[in-house]
Amino acid sequence: MLNRPRPAPGADPDAALLAAYAAGDGQAAAALAARLLPRGLRLAARLLGDPAEAEDVAQEAMLRLWRAAPGWRPDGGARVGTWLHRVVVNLSTDRLRRRGRTRPLEAAPDPIDPRPSAEAGLIAQDRAAALHAALGRLPERQRIAVVLRHLEALSNPEIAEILETGVEAVESLLARARRTLAADPALRHDIDPDEEG
Amino acid sequence: MIPEDDDLRRAEGTLPADLAAALAAARQEAPPAVPAALLARVLADAAAAQPRPGPEPAPASAAAPRGGFAPGALRAAIGRIARPLAGLGGISTAALAAGLWVGIAQPGAAPDLFALIGLGLEPELALLPDHGGMADFLDPEAGG
């Protein structure tokens, strides 16, 4: 194992690990996988709604990272984590398009009827299922933007980098998605269903 | 636990309570445990793709075989010899073009160069008037 220089404050620690990996450090890959793989896997699962496919995408994204390691420039370009998110998003989008479907979460349950649980409030599982179903009804880029912003808690500039667009476009995507989600009856348990009909 | 920024809290503050709660709950979900088989595949990929530190590059003199010319050394030697001649390329091209032009489209008034230097027939074109004519030319009154 090689001695790894401690990254400077504010520097990307993943970039330092990637440089160590490229220099032949046998432990750096395990450290990077421990840091990046769980989030990559979770993002792929959220976008694809299929655990097996999510594993394939996460593995492929990590493989691309290994291959990119020798040419990685820590002083310019994206942070390693952001770069990996972009690869996961692109691979997931490709798979969704190959499947010929625009909504990734068909496997998620249908929007639940809010009436039975209106009084007691939804249990967490129902609420999560309703959210995933509602996300599945969003247009592709709006859905990705919501997942990255509200579930992965990435910043708008990071999302802009991942989607290869501007920050204003991301804000616009998010605003439209929030309006659609806010109007989704499966997520509006404060509305009296009798008044809605 | 993912730290939340103020902008995110503010944005979700404008959403219906159930939606905001659903988003917050989903955000706080712990990442899934990575299956051991997936981790093993990822690390195997990493091992296969990891650049191998190669031997130190040998100096150029050591790379060439003793008593002979390596192809690289030969190319370098030719380059050293040819480099000063590179500037002559333009001159030779210009001379070739001029020669072709004269050969294909010789100007009618061009003198026979062989005749001029005494190697052939008399020049058909008198470049200068004869002596008498020249005298007339220089002193018109004497000739008249």
- Determine the distance in angstroms separating the CA of B94 from the nearest CA of chain A, rounded to an integer: 47
Among A80-84, B83-87, B98-102, the range with the most confident prediction by mean pLDDT is: A80-84
> Between these two residues, A187 and A163, which has the higher pLDDT value?
A163
Model confidence at B107, pLDDT cuts 50, 70, 90, reads low
Contacts 24+ apart (CB under 8 A), B50-56: B50/A21, B50/A22, B50/A24, B50/A26, B50/A29, B50/A66, B50/A69, B51/A22, B51/A24, B51/A69, B51/A70, B52/A24, B53/A23, B53/A24
Domain housing A57: 11-75
Same domain, A143 and A61: no
Position B67 scores a pLDDT of: 41
Q: How far apart are CA A190 and CA B11, in angstroms?
A: 19
How many separate domains does chain B show? Answer: 2
- Statement to judge: residues A108 and A166 lie in one domain: yes
Any domain includes B122: yes
Mean per-residue pLDDT of chain A: 83
Residue A9, token pair as written in the block: 């404050």
B30, amino acid identity: A
Domain membership of residue A2 (yes or no) is no
Q: What is the pLDDT of residue B9?
A: 83
Which residues from A are below 8 Å from B16, CB to CB?
182, 187-188, 190
Q: State whether A30 and B2 contact (CB < 8 Å).
A: no
Residue B1 lies in a domain: yes
Nearest CA in chain A to B7: A155
The answer to whether residue A132 scores a pLDDT higher than 90 is no
CB contact under 8 A, A152 and B2: yes
**Average pLDDT rounded to a whole number, residues A133-159:** 93
- Whether A118 and A182 map to the same domain: the answer is yes
Q: Which residues of A touch B5 (CB under 8 A)?
A: 153, 155
Residue B21 lies in a domain: yes
> Are the C-beta atoms of B20 and A182 separated by less than 8 Å?
no
Residue A82 domain flag = no
All residues of chain A having their beta carbon less than 8 Å from the beta carbon of residue B18 are 122, 127, 187-190
Q: Region A50-68: what's the mean pLDDT?
A: 96
pLDDT mean over A81-103: 87
Residue B73 pLDDT exceeds 70? no
pLDDT value at residue A112: 43
CB atoms B18 and A150 under 8 Å = no
Residue A23 in domain:
yes
State the complex-level ipTM. Answer: 0.79
The percentage of chain A sitting over the pLDDT mark of 90, rounded to a whole number, equals: 58
User: Does residue A147 share a domain with residue A110?
Assistant: yes
CATH code of A144's domain:
1.10.10.10
Residue A195 placed within a domain: yes
Query: Per the domain annotation, does A91 fall within a domain?
Result: no
pLDDT value at residue A101: 54
User: Residue B131 sits in which domain range?
Assistant: 112-144
Given a cut of 60, is residue A98 above it in pLDDT? Answer: yes
Total domain count for chain A? Answer: 2
Please report residues of B whose CB lies closer than 8 A to that of A58: 38, 42
CA distance A22 to A39: 22
CA distances to A118, B60, B62, B63 from B57, in Å: 73, 9, 10, 9
Q: Quote the pLDDT of residue B121.
A: 54
In a domain? residue A86: no
Mean pLDDT of A18-44: 94
Mutate which: A132, A151, A152, A159, vs B, most B CBs within 10 A:
A151
Mean local confidence (pLDDT), A43-70? 95
Q: Which residues of A touch B50 (CB under 8 A)?
A: 21-22, 24, 26, 29, 66, 69
pLDDT band at A74 (very low <50, low <70, confident <90, very high): low
Query: If you search the block for the tokens 């880029």, which residue do you land on?
Result: A141
At residue A99, the 3 state secondary structure works out as helix
The answer to whether residue A160 scores a pLDDT higher than 70 is: yes
Q: Phi and psi of B34, rounded to 5°?
A: -75, 125
Confidence at residue A195, expressed as pLDDT on a 0 to 100 scale: 46
Per-residue pLDDT, B40:
97
Question: How close B89 gets to chain A, by Cα (Å)?
Answer: 41
Tell me if A71 is assigned to some domain: yes
Distance from CA of B53 to the nearest CA of A (A): 7
In this prediction, residue A149 has a pLDDT band, given cuts at 50, 70 and 90, of: very high
**At B65, is the pLDDT very low, low, confident or very high (cuts 50, 70, 90)?**
very low
- Residue A89 in any domain: the answer is no
Instruction: Give me the pLDDT at residue A170, please.
Output: 96
Average pLDDT over residues A191-196: 47
